[in-house]
Structure formats: C-alpha cells, structure tokens
C-alpha cells in the first residue's frame, strides 16, 4: 500500500499531471531582485526537546548554505520568530485556545531566539511576527519594497504552517516565490510532503536546493555593482 506522502507528493507524477490538467502548477520563475526569508529557525521549533520542536538539523544545514550564498551576493536577508508580550495580549484569545503552546513564546525567552548557527548579522532584520505568515502584522512588505525585492526565497519551518502561510501572502502580493525543498521542514513528514505539493501547485516554485544555489551563484550581486561604481568614481 502506498504511503500518504507518496500519494500527495511532488513525487507522484499522476497527481502532478492531474493538477496540471486543472490549470495548476505553472512556473513563476525568478525575478530580478531576490531576498532570503528564514522563517522561525529558533529553539522552540528546532529543538526536539521542546514541545513544538522537531529535528531540523538537515534543514538548518541547507539554510546555512543559502545564507553563505546570499551574503556573498549581498542579497537582502530577513529572519522571523514568533514572540508575545508576557501578558499574552498580542496572542489573542481565539488563537490562544487553538494553539495553547503559544503561551510559551514569550518575548526575550531563549526558546524564541534564533539558533546560533544562523549567525545573523546586524543588517539582517529579525521580525517578531504574531501569526504564521511573515507578512501578517509586520513591516516585512515595506522593507521588501524598500529593497526593491521582487522574489522571495522562503526557508525554515514549518512547511504546513508558517512556510505555507508566508508563501501564500507573498504570492498574493505578486512576489515570485521560490522554495528550496531541502531548506524547509515540518514535524510531520506527510504534512511536509503535502504542503510542498500545494505550494508548488498554487503559490510558487519548489526547487532543489542545488538549483537555487546555482541561481544565486550566477546572480550579478550588488557587490559587483558597487565595485564597478567605485571604479567609475575614481576615474
């Protein structure tokens, strides 16, 4: 008997063909100015000992590779976490009932802080978001506009929650959405597989990590533009 992940999965060619016949699954491709979004790679989600945590070691390694490539091209990088005031007024009663684990996400606590392997730089904003999407209740959109970004590379966790929500909102705001498959993860393998399929069908392009790294390596980054401008200014 086939597993659920093989049925609702990008590895299922019959399902992909069915969705393509229905008009889903087109390629959005790359724009001209990408940004890297690293969603919720904090202890609360990456430590299997935490209530909401799971083993995302492989995902973290992929993200570290993407960060190196993005920094080499001075591509804008944005990190997110979820954190609330100690009184939990920001959490809200309805959300608190649905996801009571949110009561543990108190601003300043070590469980909502990014894992050190990410080595966040001072010029890489850390956004505290109150809900799943990195766009909801934050100033991410205005910062992307300021950076003239048209492509969002979405990484982190969880695929079925905050990744999907962020991809949906980015798509709805007319950004090209790119998801490196190895750089997102979920506590449920079947949820991960199913949501990667849905994101690829509806909101963006799910690509192999290798392909995304190659695209970034071939990108004419702002380092090159700045060096060229500097040479011109001294002539």
Give yes or no: 162 in active site.
Answer: yes
Q: Which string of DSSP letters, residue by residue, matches 206-229?
A: EE-HHHHHHHHHTS--HHHHHHHH
Query: What's the CA gap between 139 and 172, in Å, rounded?
Result: 16
9: left (phi over 0), alpha (psi -120 to 50) or beta: beta
Report the SS3 class of residue 78.
strand
The single residue of 162, 177, 184, 201 carrying the catalytic annotation is 162
108: left (phi over 0), alpha (psi -120 to 50) or beta: left
Strand partners for 205: 178
Strand partners for 184: 156
For the chain, give the number of residues.
235
Query: What's the CA gap between 167 and 181, in Å, rounded?
Result: 13
Give yes or no for a contact between 203 and 171, defined as CB atoms under 8 angstroms apart: yes
Burial of 36 (0-12, 13-18, 19+ CB in 10 A): buried
Tokens 């060619």 sit on residue:
13
Query: What's the CA gap between 155 and 178, in Å, rounded?
Result: 9
Of 143, 202, 201, 155, the closest CA to residue 179 belongs to 155
Q: Which residues are catalytic?
A: 162
């Amino acid at each position: 008997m086939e597993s659920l992940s093989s049925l609702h999965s990008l590895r299922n060619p019959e399902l992909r063909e069915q969705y393509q016949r229905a008009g889903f699954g087109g390629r959005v491709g790359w724009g001209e100015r990408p940004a890297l979004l690293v969603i919720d790679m904090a202890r609360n989600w990456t430590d299997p000992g935490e209530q909401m945590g799971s083993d995302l070691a492989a995902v973290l390694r992929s993200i570290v590779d993407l960060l190196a490539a993005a920094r080499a091209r001075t591509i804008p990088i944005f990190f997110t976490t979820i954190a609330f005031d100690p009184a939990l007024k920001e959490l809200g009663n309805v959300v608190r009932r649905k996801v009571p684990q949110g009561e543990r996400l108190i601003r300043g606590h070590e469980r909502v802080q990014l894992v050190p392997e990410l080595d966040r730089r001072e010029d890489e904003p850390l956004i505290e978001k109150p809900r799943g999407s990195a766009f909801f209740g934050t100033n991410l959109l205005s910062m992307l506009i300021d950076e003239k970004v048209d492509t969002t590379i979405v990484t982190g966790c969880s695929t079925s929650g905050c990744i999907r929500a962020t991809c949906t909102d980015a798509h709805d705001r007319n950004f090209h959405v790119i998801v490196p498959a190895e750089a997102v993860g979920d506590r449920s393998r079947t949820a991960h597989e199913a949501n990667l399929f849905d994101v690829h069908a509806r909101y963006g392009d799910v690509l192999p990590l290798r392909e995304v790294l190659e695209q970034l390596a071939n990108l004419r980054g702002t380092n090159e533009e700045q060096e060229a401008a500097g040479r011109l200014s001294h002539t």
